[in-house]
Amino acid sequence: MVFQEKGYQAATLGDVAAALETDRATLYYYVSGKEELLREAVTDYVLEIVRDIRRIVTIKAPARAKLAEFITGLMMAYESHYPHPYVFIQEKLDGAWRTDTDWLHRLVSAVTDVQAQVVGILEQGIRDGEFRADLPVELVANALFGMVNWTHRWYRPGGRYTGDEVGFSFAALFLDGLVTEPLTAGTE
């Protein structure tokens, strides 16, 4: 929670120790520094998301069903690992990860893999006639991730909606939209 509240760059191990009601020396017994804490906080959930999208891609189902399952599962992972996914999103967006480490390269590779798998599902949907072919696939994928990742600004477990409810609503909004007729370029 300290990284989420203060931001990774501003937070110190002293802040973390105070939140845990211990001292910095005791914390150093368990971790080498705040980068190790960040690694421990985000690695498991990122790898869980990678495993989940790889599983979803292999199932025999329409692209629409795969995408709905991914969106809902992603929000459920955000909920179950809260606040770690949001620390990752917040810090990645703020450019806090400027270090060049093997861990960071693996993490970036995992995120790139997830994005590529989603693009693959979108391309499947276009090939199968489920999804519109007139929109750039990368733009659609970025819109999906933008919608879900923006929840780092407002979603809290135990609030009005569960991760499952948010994911289901986002999947419906993303896949069905709000209108019965699709927009065409230049429509107001």
Q: Of the spans 20-29, 99-108, 128-137, which averages the highest pLDDT?
A: 128-137
Task: Tell me the domains of the chain and their CATH numbers.
Answer: 41-176 (1.10.357.10)
Cis omega (within 30 of 0) for bond into 83: yes
Mean pLDDT of the chain: 86
Q: What confidence score (pLDDT) does residue 93 get?
A: 45
**Residue 159 buriedness (CB in 10 A; 0-12 / 13-18 / 19+):** exposed
Q: Which two tokens stand for residue 184?
A: 């065409």
What are the pLDDT digits (tens) for 161-185?
999 999 999 999 999 886 666 556 6
Other C-beta atoms closer than 10 Å to the C-beta of 89 total: 19
| Structure-model confidence comparison of residues 107 and 154, the more confident one | 154
Instruction: Please report, rounded to a whole number, the percentage of residues in the chain having pLDDT higher than 70.
Output: 88
- What does the angle CA 65 – CA 68 – CA 154 come to, to the nearest 5 degrees? 175
Other C-beta atoms closer than 10 Å to the C-beta of 163 total: 21
* pLDDT level of residue 17 (50, 70, 90 thresholds): confident
| Distances in whole angstroms, Cα of residue 10 to Cα of each of 2, 18, 28, 120, 169 | 10, 15, 18, 38, 35
Contacts of 56 (CB under 8 A, 6+ apart): 66, 69, 70, 73, 117, 121
What are the pLDDT digits (tens) for 44-66?
888 889 999 999 999 999 999 99
Query: Among 169, 65, 63, which residue's Cα sits nearest to residue 122?
Result: 63
Contacts of 2 (CB under 8 A, 6+ apart): 11, 15, 16, 19
pLDDT of residue 97 exceeding 60, the answer is no
HSE of 132 in the Cβ direction (CA atoms, 13 Å)?
13
